[in-house]
Structure 1
C-alpha cells in the first residue's frame, strides 16, 4: 500500500495498548478505515469516528466472524501471536478471503537470536514453553501464502513522544533490551504505507542504545 492510497485495515485484538495507539495514529494522520476486532470490545474501547471505524466482536478462532471482519480489508494487524491455533485460524480466514498482508506482533528470542546476559535474562523471564508457542505461530505465518511482517518485540514500556526504534533481520543477532509501545505503533503505520518494502520479513524491534543486560524498568 502506497502513500495516498486509502485502505481498510483490520486490527485483531483492538483493545491492546499498541492496537489503540495504531488506531489513534491512523485516525489522526490518514483517511484509512478501520475494522476493530476482539472480544467484548464495546465495553473496552470507544469509537471516535463512526464513519471510519467498525467494531466486530469475536474470537480469533471464529472463522465466520473473522471472514465477516475481513470483507474489503487490505491489510491486517494481529496484536498477539501467543496462540499457534488462533494464528492458524486467522491465516486460513485471510487466505480464503483474499486478504494477503498480515503484520503480527511476536516476541524476541524465538530463533535463539538473543545472545549474552540479556539473552539469559530474557529466557529466565519468559521460559522456553512460551517461546515455543510464539515460534510455532511465527512458522504458521512464514509457511503461509501471505505477505507478512513478523515483529519480534523486545520488552515493552510506554513513553509519550519516544518513537525511536531499530530493526534487525532474521538471522542477525537481536540487540536492545527495551522499546516503547509508541515506537512499535509508529513502525506499524510506517509498514502499511510501504508494505512492499517489508513483505515476508521477520524483524527484531528494539530501541537504539539499549544493549543492556535487562530493561531499565527491571
Structure 2
C-alpha cells in the first residue's frame, strides 16, 4: 500500500491526478487543502481529507504521519515559502519522495520565439517565484521529481513527451490530464525520475505560442 499526501488537492491537475491514482487500489490518499469542505464528498475508506496551510510546517507535519510520497500541486505568490515549509516538514517527518509541479521556463530553457513569448507572459512575479521554489526543492536532500508543464489545456487526452533539465523545452502545450498521468506513473513506480526535473509537452505542438492562445 502506498500512502500519498496531495498538497493543493483542490487544484485542477490535482483532482485529475487523484482520480487516476485511485484507479490503482494500492494507493491511499490524503487530500490537503485550505478549506476541507470543498472536497468533503471525496472522503472514503481510501481517501482522507484534511485542512491546512501549505506554508505552515506544523500543519504539514500533522498530515505526513504514515505518508510515503508527497505530491505538491501548489501555486501562488508565496510558493517559495511553501517549498521551504514542505522541505522542512518532510525532513522532520522522515519522508523523502516528493513530486513537485512547477512550470516551464524556470531555467530559461524554452527556445526561440516561444521562449520570448513565455517570458512576456510569465515574467514579473510568476516565473521568478516558481524558479525560486524549484531552487529550494533542488537544494534539499529530498528525492524529488520536478514537473514543468507546457501551457495547459483541458483536453480529455493523455499524450505527452518529456525533456530533462539541461535540454531545450519541446512543444507549446499539454493537457492537464497528461500531467496527472505523469504524477500517477511516478507514484506507481517511485524509482522513476529520481532527482530529475522533467519538462512535459504534447508532441508536435511546436510554435510561437500555444495554438489555442
Same fold (TM over 0.5): yes
Q: 2:174 aligns with which of 144, 164, 179?
A: 179
Q: Which residue in the other structure is 1:3 paired with?
A: none
TM-score by length of 1: 0.93
Contact kept in structure 2, 1:61 and 1:86, CA below 8 Å = yes
User: Structure 2 matches for 1:95-106, cutoff 5 A?
Assistant: 95-106=91-102
Specify which of 165, 175, 190 is matched with residue 170 of structure 1: 165
Aligned partner of 2:44 in structure 1 is: 50
Moved over 4 A (4+): none
Contact kept, 8 Å, 1:154 with 1:205, in 2: the verdict is yes
Quote the Cα distance in structure 2 between the aligned partners of 1:49 and 1:84. 29
Q: Which residue of 1 aligns with 2:35?
A: 40
Gaps of 5+ in 1: 1-5
Q: Is residue 2:167 matched to residue 1:149?
A: no
Cα root mean square deviation, aligned = 1.2
Gaps of 5+ in 2: none
How many residue pairs get aligned? The number is 211
Residues 1:79 and 2:59 are matched in the alignment? no
TM-score by length of 2: 0.95
1:19 corresponds, among 14, 17, 29, to: 14
Task: Select which of 165, 183, 186 maps to 1:188.
Answer: 183
